[in-house]
Amino acid sequence: MARAAETRRRTRIQEEKETLILASALAVFAQNGFAGTTLDDIARLAGMSKPNLIYYFASKEEIYRAVLGRTLETWLEPLIALDPSGEPLAEIRGYIRRKLEISRDRPQESRLFAGEILAGAPLIRDALEADLKNLVDEKVAVIRGWIADGKLADHDPYHLIFAIWATTQHYADFDVQVQSVLGKGIDEASRYAGAERFMEDVILGGLRPDS
């Protein structure tokens, strides 16, 4: 926990400074990874001295954990929004679109998260095995209910969620590759519109009860 946050009531300036530090840390960690980043790097980008930064966060690991925590919250929001009372195909379509929007609008978070997972998730494994797993298990039960009611074709909901993660996050984590293959004439809006159409055609088409 940040030192400044240990006080009973944080001031507006403290909150702004913490937000600035975490935004700067995200940019540096996403580019250099945890091992390649120093407190000096973060302080420099945040435009503050290292002692001032340490007033808010005592160590690089503390900052990294805070950034990862916020990133995981961002990742969970689209799945949380999957409504059990909604129309199944519309709900899954909405999930795909929300995940693509995160990849488009917040690519640094996606790359940072991918780097942590590729490293074996040393700092967020507990969260993956608790918060993430519990949420996925909950939504898998919802999808299985839709299947049992004949509203979706029979499939493994876990692998459906994995496939949506892998496909949507590809456009953030491998953006340079995607741009290189599609060519300079395809702008960002067209890339994501094409990705959305493809995923809806393929994923939703395969989930229709009569498919």
CATH 3.40.50.300 for domain 68-207, yes or no, is no
Rounded CA gap, 14 and 30, in Å?
24
Please write the tens of the pLDDT for every residue from 168-186.
999 999 999 999 999 988 9
Question: What is the pLDDT, as a whole number, of residue 9?
Answer: 61
Fold exhibited by the domain 4-58: Arc Repressor Mutant, subunit A (1.10.10)
Q: Is the pLDDT of residue 2 over 50?
A: no
Please write the tens of the pLDDT for every residue from 148-167.
999 999 999 999 999 999 99
Do the domains 4-58 and 68-207 sit in the same CATH topology, yes or no? no
Q: Where are the domains of the chain?
A: 4-58, 68-207
The gap from C-alpha 95 to its chain's centroid, in whole angstroms, comes to: 13
Q: What does residue 167 show for φ and ψ, rounded to 5 degrees?
A: -70, -45
Give the pLDDT mean for 44-56. 95
Residue bearing tokens 């899954």: 92
Share of the chain above pLDDT 70, in %: 95
DSSP 118: H
Helices in the chain by DSSP H: which ranges?
A: 12-32, 39-46, 50-56, 60-80, 88-105, 107-118, 125-127, 133-148, 157-173, 175-182, 188-199, 205-207
CA atoms within 13 A on the CB side of 52: 13
Give the pLDDT mean for 12-38. 92
Give the pLDDT mean for 134-146. 98
